[in-house]
Amino acid sequence: MLVAKPGFSLVAGVLLLLGAIPALPGKAAEASKVIIGFHEFPGAAHQELIDSLAGQISHVYTLIPAIAATVPEDALGALQNHPLVAYIEEDAEVTSIDTSYLSMSSPPLDLSAASTEDEYERSWGVRRIGSRSPHAQGITGKEVKIAIIDSGIDYNHEDLDGNYRGGYDFVFDDDDPMDDSFVSHGTNIAGIIAAEKNGIGVVGVAPDASLYALKVLTSFGNADISDVIAALQWAVDNEMDIANISIEGTHSETLKAACDAAYEAGLLIIAAAGNSSGEAVRYPASYDSVVAVTNIDKENNVASSAAIGSEIELSAPGESIYSTARTNSTGYGKLSGTSQAAPHVTGAAALVLSSGTLEDINGDGERDNKDLRLLLQTAVDDLGATGKDELFGFGLVDLEKIFSIHLQRTEPWLSGWQTYNMENKNYSISIQNNSLYAVIVWVSENGVIRRDLSSIHTFRDHRQPPPQQAEFEINALGTSFEVIFIPFGKVGSSADITIN
């Protein structure tokens, strides 16, 4: 009889005698998702190195000298010490910038009764940054290519389908970047940038811009840094003009290098500063090569949820922003945050590009993303401390400071008049007369003529060489006015009106 010793299993002993205990299998080697930086752009030798260590490559970059791969942990030491390798960095996770989900409805209103005017009424941020002035002049973002690096876009949406041009899904590795996020994060951003001016729903800042969806966020709102870098590379390779990013994570040398390289390649990168409630600006918005945008409310206050820091460059509307949602491709809803502020700046940049008026501001012989960035920094309402500050940056983007109104008599009778909407600020108007006899300024509030604000500006010395100038103010604080500028003079006579 077999007697078990203390601490000895009787069953184990029997099996041992019978030779029935198999050898325990070794634990499977752990693997790590990493980004491997090289001293030179990777070629066959670099890929063979990773293959030799049983690594699985996910991205081979041409924007920066790096490869993203999954590598066994016990091989990382050998890889780190290889002469081809400059560094190894964790392929960390980034997330969509947290949003305050307020409401969503489908459809949002009686679309049969909607008009183009209603679109502007429902898009307070689009109005606040002065988008109506360029729209009235036919400047709508045509042929400007915008990459939205986010959760995808509902490209079937009635307010987006005409502007969607394609993209890529880096989550599922295919060319179908449909938005599957619960809060319609990417679709909301797309609508702020370029919802169509079609008489329904909302209108975007640049309603004729070309939208490209680069889906890096899963439906849960997380992404790998390696996919964000791949999206930046796609944007450069496909000659995007602007990239909008509303994603945050920890600092990554590789992501910084990718942003820097994309910016130097001509891509203007605009990113949400982060909803950190007064804490530091998030990455990638805090990189020097990226325009960091914070959000304000209707009273021009920086949202309490916004990040604060010297990296803040511009401010834009971001509270209770009504935009497109992915519900049955006819949905609309409201979101709040710096994620909603950044696309207002992206749309503004698109309008400037489409106008063809961008100058070589920095004097380097090129008219490019760097000049566009400088122009946006000066076309602002300075809301905080004089100059750039940690709350508002340079200030609230104001397209009215860029796009003046060209007023011209086109017919013998009443003609050439232009309408301008003023809302919740004090406006300074300057008329530079070229050859008109007079300009009538007709102001109405809620359909009622404000005779106390309406005026006639005559240029009796019209035979003298131009320009002649008239300057005045219209205070629309706490209300909104419709202002009509009516030219009087010979056919072909004109004036230029600047509104600040």
Cite the active site residues.
150, 185, 339
Beta strand extents in 170-302 (DSSP E only): 210-215, 222-224, 242-245, 247-248, 268-272, 290-296
For 364, other C-beta atoms within 10 Å of its C-beta total 10
Instruction: Give me the amino acid identity at 293.
Output: V
Nearest to 500 by CA among 381, 355, 373: 381
Distance of alpha carbon 407 from alpha carbon 418, whole angstroms: 7
Q: Which two tokens stand for residue 117?
A: 């005017």
Count of residues for the chain? 500
Beta strand extents in 373-475 (DSSP E only): 380-381, 396-397, 405-408, 418-423, 426-433, 438-445, 448-449, 455-458, 468-475
Q: Which two tokens stand for residue 421?
A: 């909407």
Distance of alpha carbon 347 from alpha carbon 355, whole angstroms: 12
Q: Is the dihedral of CA 207, 212, 214, 219 positive or negative?
A: positive
Q: Which residues contact 121 (CB under 8 A, 6 or more apart)?
A: none
Cβ contact 66:225 at 8 Å: no
Cβ contact 250:287 at 8 Å: no
Taking the CA atoms of the chain, what radius of gyration do you get in angstroms? 29
Helix 338-355 to helix 369-378 angle, to the nearest 10 degrees? 110
Cβ contact 438:459 at 8 Å: yes
Q: Which residues contact 201 (CB under 8 A, 6 or more apart)?
A: 108, 111, 114, 119, 122, 158, 159, 191, 195, 324, 332
Instruction: Give me the amino acid identity at 44.
Output: A
Q: Which residues contact 240 (CB under 8 A, 6 or more apart)?
A: 145, 146, 147, 212, 267
Distance of alpha carbon 474 from alpha carbon 85, whole angstroms: 63
